[in-house]
């Protein structure tokens, strides 16, 4: 490890932190720096709506949070903050699942309030980061041609978009047949009642797309396909129930699966939730081989049980299935061919050697966020990777970081001046994609950058 000496002797108030990305991770990082009287901050965001990111720029009111309001505070040190904010506006109670649009309003208000209360301490730059020079200090290059100097850089780029399947990339489909961006507002355009849609992926992004298509009046069939055809499970209709695990679970292994099944005793949701305080520690203590087995064999099951649907959303998905409009499929796509304004899909059902063919008007990529830096189209990450300033983690889930979130360069050394935050650090922490986890990570980093450590819970 490299000692953090670059800003030694420079007062915190005179230091400058540049944060790339103003979704949840970047927004809360900037606000937490203000709350801790930390360095001056510059928040770089290319979209016109900072504070929202993809998740909270939802297209429908039916796109709701997958976590109850009681656990959606932006602040680790103030767990009831969001509930108070929502209650003051007559929006929701602690046990409700709030719309993601509303949560975007909350984050935007926090950002605006922070900037108003600390004039000159936080600057918002509407631009795209495309490169970084680290030869003598840090200089972030922007698409506009502007350069921002920094003492510390924080990568808060959120989830990277899904990769295109090779079979689709090489198919030469007609315009409008394939939608690589599942959040595009035009994915329902020109669809007719007799059309079929294929959604690749059966996770939470698929749910968003299906709800959107249905809300836009599409009455055709929506086939949703993944290797196992697993759909997200539902939350309990009521609030939290007592924990099922009496003590800290063992390491990632088949014995852990047996332990969780035993503890569940018919109600698995409480048992899954009771793993939350231990998941990061279990992941960090696991060997690469154990992590690889988990990702290969257990991850699909973990995802559908851990990342659940609000009860009204789950009810709507069930309704669409019962109507025959939503058809889950388990299988693998083998080839995609153009067929006029449609696409012809050859695929093999799971557990079968027989090939099947379907004809669809549109294909929507909902394979979920991908973290393979070798395949990313993000210009900043590609530039940093090419220079060896960052490297992929062992399982290509994101950027390799140490336990403090400092990025690890190609030579295996953790840099003291570049940090990563949020889902892109999944390789190191695994459970770092939801607000309850990211807010802890952001709070700890803000305290570190502000020289505001406290003894309890911060390792001193």
For residue 197, give the CATH number of its domain.
3.50.50.60
Residues 181 and 274 in one domain: no
- Give the dihedral sign, CA 129/134/139/143: negative
- Domain limit, last residue, from 283, 306, 329: 306
Total-model pTM: 0.89
Q: How many Å apart are CA 114 and CA 102, to the nearest integer?
A: 19
Q: How many Å apart are CA 409 and CA 384, to the nearest integer?
A: 9
**Can you state the angle between helices 100-117 and 24-35, rounded to 10 degrees?**
30
Burial of 17 (0-12, 13-18, 19+ CB in 10 A): buried
Instruction: Determine phi and psi for 407, rounding to 5 degrees.
Output: -70, 145
Q: How many Å apart are CA 397 and CA 268, to the nearest integer?
A: 27
Report residue 52's pLDDT band, with 50, 70 and 90 as the boundaries. confident
Residues 282 and 156 in one domain: no
As a whole-number percent, the residues of the chain with pLDDT over 90 amount to: 65
Residues 77 and 143 in one domain: yes
Residues 138 and 207 in one domain: no
Could you tell me whether strands 138-142 and 129-133 are parallel, antiparallel, or unpaired per DSSP bridges?
antiparallel
Spell out a b/e string for 295-314, using b for 16 or more CB atoms within 10 Å of the CB, else e.
Answer: eeeeebebbbbbebbbeebb
- According to the model, what pLDDT value does residue 305 have? 85
The DSSP output letter for 10 is S
Tens-digit pLDDT profile for residues 197-249 = 999 999 999 999 999 999 999 999 999 999 999 999 998 877 665 566 556 66
Residues 152 and 188 in one domain: no
- Domain limit, last residue, from 266, 286, 306: 306
Within a domain: 2? no
Q: How many Å apart are CA 61 and CA 441, to the nearest integer?
A: 29
> Residue holding tokens 């570190």?
448
Report residue 458's pLDDT band, with 50, 70 and 90 as the boundaries. very low
Within a domain: 396? yes
Q: Which two tokens stand for residue 155?
A: 């990568």
Mean pLDDT of the chain: 88
Tens-digit pLDDT profile for residues 97-143 = 999 999 999 999 999 999 998 898 999 999 999 999 998 899 999 99
- According to the model, what pLDDT value does residue 183 have? 87
- Give the dihedral sign, CA 108/420/300/267: negative
E strand intervals along 160-290: 178-179, 196-200, 221-226
Residues 270 and 333 in one domain: no
Residues 110 and 185 in one domain: no
- For 147, the 3-state DSSP assignment is strand
Mean pLDDT on 298-314:
89
- According to the model, what pLDDT value does residue 157 have? 94
- Domain limit, last residue, from 350, 365, 380: 365
The answer, yes or no, to whether residue 185 has pLDDT greater than 80, is yes
Residues 44 and 129 in one domain: yes
Residue 277's domain comprises: 254-306
Residues 124 and 63 in one domain: yes
Tens-digit pLDDT profile for residues 270-296 = 777 778 788 888 899 899 999 998 898
Within a domain: 454? no
Domain count, the chain: 3
Residues 72 and 201 in one domain: no
- According to the model, what pLDDT value does residue 214 have? 95
Residues 299 and 319 in one domain: no
Within a domain: 240? no
- According to the model, what pLDDT value does residue 2 have? 42
Q: Which two tokens stand for residue 149?
A: 């100097």
- Among 219, 149, 211, 144, residue whose Cα is nearest residue 183: 211
Report residue 459's pLDDT band, with 50, 70 and 90 as the boundaries. very low
- Among 376, 418, 370, residue whose Cα is nearest residue 395: 370
Residues 23 and 64 in one domain: yes
């Amino acid at each position: 490890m490299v000692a953090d000496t670059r800003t030694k002797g420079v007062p915190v108030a005179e230091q400058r932190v540049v944060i790339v990305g103003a979704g949840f991770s970047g927004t809360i990082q900037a606000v937490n720096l203000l709350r801790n009287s930390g360095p001056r901050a510059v928040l770089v965001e290319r979209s016109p709506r900072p504070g929202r990111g993809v998740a909270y720029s939802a297209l429908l009111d039916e796109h709701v949070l997958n976590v109850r309001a009681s656990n959606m505070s932006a602040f680790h040190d103030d767990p009831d903050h969001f509930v108070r904010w929502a209650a003051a506006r007559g929006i929701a109670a602690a046990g409700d699942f709030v719309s993601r649009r509303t949560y975007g309003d909350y984050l935007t208000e926090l950002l605006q309030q922070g900037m108003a209360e600390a004039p000159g301490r936080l600057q918002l730059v509407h631009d795209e980061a495309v490169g970084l020079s680290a030869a003598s200090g840090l200089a972030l290059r922007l698409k506009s041609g502007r350069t921002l100097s920094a003492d510390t850089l924080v990568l808060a780029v959120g989830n990277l978009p899904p990769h295109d399947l090779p079979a689709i990339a090489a198919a030469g489909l007609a315009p409008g047949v394939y939608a690589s961006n599942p959040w595009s507002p035009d994915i329902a355009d020109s669809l007719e009642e007799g059309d079929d849609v294929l959604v690749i992926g059966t996770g939470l992004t698929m749910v968003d797309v299906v709800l959107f298509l249905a809300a836009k009046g599409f009455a055709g069939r929506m086939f949703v396909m993944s290797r196992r055809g697993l759909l997200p499970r539902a939350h309990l209709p009521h609030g939290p129930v007592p924990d099922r695990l009496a003590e800290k679970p063992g390491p990632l292994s088949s014995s852990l699966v047996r332990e969780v099944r035993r503890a569940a005793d018919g109600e698995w949701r409480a048992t899954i939730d009771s793993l939350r305080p231990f998941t990061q520690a279990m992941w960090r203590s696991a060997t690469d081989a154990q992590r690889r087995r988990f990702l290969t064999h257990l991850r699909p099951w973990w995802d559908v049980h851990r990342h659940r649907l609000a009860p009204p959303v789950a009810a709507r998905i069930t309704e669409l299935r019962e109507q025959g409009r939503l058809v889950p499929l388990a299988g693998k796509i083998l080839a995609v061919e153009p067929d006029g304004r449609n696409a012809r899909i050859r695929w093999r059902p799971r557990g079968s050697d027989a090939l099947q063919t379907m004809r669809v008007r549109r294909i929507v990529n909902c394979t979920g966020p991908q973290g393979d830096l070798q395949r990313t189209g993000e210009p900043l990450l590609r530039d940093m990777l090419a220079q060896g300033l960052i490297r992929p983690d062992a399982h290509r889930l994101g950027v390799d970081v140490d336990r403090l979130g400092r990025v690890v360069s190609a030579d295996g050394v953790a840099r003291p001046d570049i940090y990563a935050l949020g889902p892109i650090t999944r390789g190191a922490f695994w459970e770092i994609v939801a607000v309850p986890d990211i807010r802890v990570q952001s709070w700890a980093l803000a305290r570190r950058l502000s020289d505001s450590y406290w003894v309890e819970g911060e390792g001193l």
